[in-house]
């Protein structure tokens, strides 16, 4: 603790010095909390909040990331009404935004009784090794090609744990590139990672094989050895039909207009895809997965033609019903990574009842499609604020101190009637309710 100075104050304000945090990682969690308490002048009540990490115990959190002082929380809800390839699912979703879970459940409900049809590719991830400083990358590509059998043997050896589970090495190829920093050769490895997300498997394998690649190349320098988050060999797709008798012709026309807008305008397409990722990320987080990887892959896929496009597609079939489709890369696992130390993720996977990562990928795209459908339907007809605000009104009631369900309901209803959704208004209503009760 000796390296730490008392935080300096100037004109009553804390002066932040970077040195005050050097070596922070060496401290125990307790010591870090004590340090941050004095640094940010936290109260005892705030310390109690920091130390309450819920299902993620502080010592477990401390093993998952660095400089840990607490854990943060998100609501975990259940998406309902999902029927996918004839099987019914209750879908855990972790998300802080109101209406996302309701929208997914609503979109799924309107797809019944048929529900969704979905399909997912084999769980193949791609890894890349970069070799730089080459006189002629094409020549090196030929050299590596001539050693293909040896390279593949090493790749198999390095992924034999995956092979034992039915996955393992699938393909090796190279790509020579000319850049402003000279010629480079990129070696690609495709590995079937079965039920894991796969980044660890791939990265370990790449670091293991890189020295042999350098040896066979006979020149150059190995640089990057890393998984690609553009998991385009691991896509999932889904389809649903929303009947005109169920949702009405006006909703169908509205959704088709909204979709056409997204196809032609990147400002809209980005928000359209954000709505899709609302559901997919919520599932990824609930199941302890790396949602940044999913996000990166999704948006790269949206741009694969060179023009950023919606990840869903809508059309009217000959009966006049709405057909919705979705396709994107989904690198989600049900084992490995942080899932093992995340007890909520394990429970979420049990609730979801998927037998492998491929099935999880299918559920993910169905949620994305359901969320997108529900958003477009609401946006193109009544707008989304009505639904959003209903939930927001309940949040406001809690924020201003409503302490019973009755108070929360009364405030939410009054806010809705007044059409003003502010904390001040909610506070006034709470005062009025309590005053009325006092005089009753």
**Least gap, CB of 114 to ligand MEV (angstroms):** 23
**Min dist. Cβ of residue 384 to ligand MEV (A):** 5
Pick the stretch among 60-68, 76-84, 223-231, 267-275 that binds ligand MEV (CB under 6 A): 267-275
- DSSP-based helix, strand, coil % in the chain, nearest 5: 50, 20, 30
Which candidate in 73, 147, 244, 388 is catalytic? 388
Residue 369 makes contact with ligand MEV by CB under 6 A: no
Select from 106, 207, 213, 161 the least CA-distant residue to 336. Answer: 161
Give the nearer residue to ligand MEV in terms of CB position, either 173 or 267. 267
Which H or E run includes 168? strand 168-179
Are 361 and 120 within 8 A, CB to CB? yes
257 included as an active-site residue: no
The answer to the question of residue 375 lying near ligand MEV (CB under 6 A) is yes
Binding test (CB under 6 A) with ligand MEV, winner from 34, 300, 325, 384: 384
Binding of residue 214 to ligand MEV (CB under 6 A): no
The token duo for 182 is 């000279």
Residue 275 as a binder of ligand MEV (CB under 6 A): the answer is yes
**Active-site residue, selected from the candidate residues 37, 274, 313, 346:** 274
Which of these segments, 44-52, 224-232, 270-278, 340-348, binds ligand MEV (CB under 6 A)?
270-278
DSSP of 244-289: HHHH-HHHHHHHHHHHHHHHH-HHHHHHHHHHHHHHHHHHHHHTT-
290 is catalytic: yes
What's the number of CA atoms in the CB half-sphere (13 Å) around residue 403? 3
380 binds ligand MEV (CB under 6 A): no
Choosing from 37, 109, 119, 274, the residue that interacts with ligand MEV (CB under 6 A) is 274
Subset of residues 80 to 109 that bind ligand MEV, contact rule: CB under 6 A = 97
Running DSSP on this structure, what letter comes out for residue 17?
-
Binding residue for ligand MEV (CB under 6 A) from 70, 105, 278, 342?
278
- Site size toward ligand MEV (CB under 6 A) is 10
Per rule CB under 6 A, is residue 271 in the interface with ligand MEV? yes
Name the minimum Å distance from CB 422 to ligand MEV.
21
Best CA proximity match to 346, nearest among 334, 364, 331, 332: 334
- Choosing from 379, 396, 397, 400, the residue that interacts with ligand MEV (CB under 6 A) is 379
Q: Is 326 exposed, middle or buried (0-12, 13-18, 19+ CB in 10 A)?
A: buried
Asked about 274 being catalytic, the answer comes back as yes
Copy the structure tokens of residue 416: 């809705």
Q: Which is nearer to ligand MEV, 278 or 358 (CB)?
A: 278
* Active-site annotation holds for 388: yes
CA distances from 337 to 63, 224, 288, 289 (A): 12, 21, 8, 8
DSSP 6: P
Look at residue 310 and give its three-state secondary structure: coil
Tell me the closest approach of the beta carbon of residue 99 to ligand MEV, in angstroms.
8
> Counting contacts by CB under 6 A, is residue 77 touching ligand MEV?
no
| Side-chain-facing half-sphere of 396: CA atoms under 13 Å | 24
Q: Judged by CB under 6 A, which stretch of 7-15, 181-189, 204-212, 274-282 contacts ligand MEV?
A: 274-282
In whole angstroms, how close is the CB of 277 to ligand MEV at the nearest point? 9
What SS3 string covers 27-85? Answer: CCHHHHHHHHHHHHCCCHHHHHHHHCCCCCCHHHHHHHCCCCCCCCCCCEEEEEEEEEC
* Chain position whose Cβ is nearest to ligand MEV: 275
Min dist CB 307 to ligand MEV, Å, is: 19
Rg for the chain, CA atoms, rounded = 26
Nearer to ligand MEV, 73 or 274 (CB): 274
- Which active-site residues does the annotation give? 97, 274, 290, 388
Chain residues in the site for ligand MEV (CB under 6 A): 97, 271-272, 274-275, 278, 375-376, 379, 384
């Amino acid at each position: 603790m000796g390296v730490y100075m008392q935080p300096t104050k100037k004109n009553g304000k804390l002066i932040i010095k970077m040195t005050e945090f050097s070596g922070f990682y060496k401290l125990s969690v307790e010591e870090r909390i004590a340090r941050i308490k004095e640094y940010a002048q936290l109260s005892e009540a705030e310390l109690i909040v920091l130390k309450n990490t819920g299902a993620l115990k502080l010592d477990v959190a401390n093993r998952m990331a660095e400089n840990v002082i607490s854990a943060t929380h998100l609501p975990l809800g259940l998406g309902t009404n999902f029927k996918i390839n004839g099987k019914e699912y209750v879908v855990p979703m972790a998300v802080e935004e109101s209406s996302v879970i309701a929208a997914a459940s609503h979109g799924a409900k309107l797809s019944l009784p048929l529900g969704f049809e979905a399909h997912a590719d084999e769980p193949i991830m791609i890894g890349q090794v970069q070799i730089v400083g080459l006189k002629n990358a094409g020549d090196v590509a030929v050299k590596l090609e001539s050693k293909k059998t040896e390279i593949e043997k090493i790749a198999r050896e390095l992924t034999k744990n995956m092979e034992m589970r039915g996955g393992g090495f699938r393909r090796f190829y190279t790509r020579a590139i000319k850049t402003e920093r000279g010629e480079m050769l990129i070696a690609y490895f495709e590995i079937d990672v079965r039920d894991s997300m796969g980044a660890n498997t791939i990265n370990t394998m790449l670091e293991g094989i890189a020295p042999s690649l350098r040896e066979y190349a006979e020149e150059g320098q190995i640089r990057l050895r890393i998984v690609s988050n553009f998991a385009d060999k691991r896509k999932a797709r889904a389809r649903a039909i929303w009947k005109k008798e169920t949702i009405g012709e006006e909703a169908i026309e509205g959704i088709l207009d909204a979709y056409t807008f997204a196809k032609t305008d990147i400002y809209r397409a980005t928000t359209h895809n954000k709505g899709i990722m609302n559901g997919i990320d919520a599932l990824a987080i609930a199941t302890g997965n790396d949602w940044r990887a999913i996000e990166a892959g999704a948006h790269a896929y949206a741009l694969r033609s060179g023009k950023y496009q919606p990840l869903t597609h809508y059309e009217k079939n000959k009966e006049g019903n709405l057909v919705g489709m979705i396709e994107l890369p989904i690198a989600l696992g049900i084992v490995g990574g942080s899932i093992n130390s995340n007890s909520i993720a394990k429970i979420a996977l049990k609730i979801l009842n998927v037998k492998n990562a491929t099935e999880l990928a299918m559920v993910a795209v169905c949620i994305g499609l359901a969320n997108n459908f529900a958003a477009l339907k609401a946006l193109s007809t009544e707008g989304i604020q009505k639904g959003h605000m209903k939930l927001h009104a309940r949040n406001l009631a809690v924020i201003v101190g409503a302490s019973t369900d009755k108070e929360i309901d009364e405030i939410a209803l009054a806010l809705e009637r007044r059409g003003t959704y502010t904390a001040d208004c909610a506070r006034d209503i709470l005062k009025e309710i309590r005053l009325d009760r006092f005089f009753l």
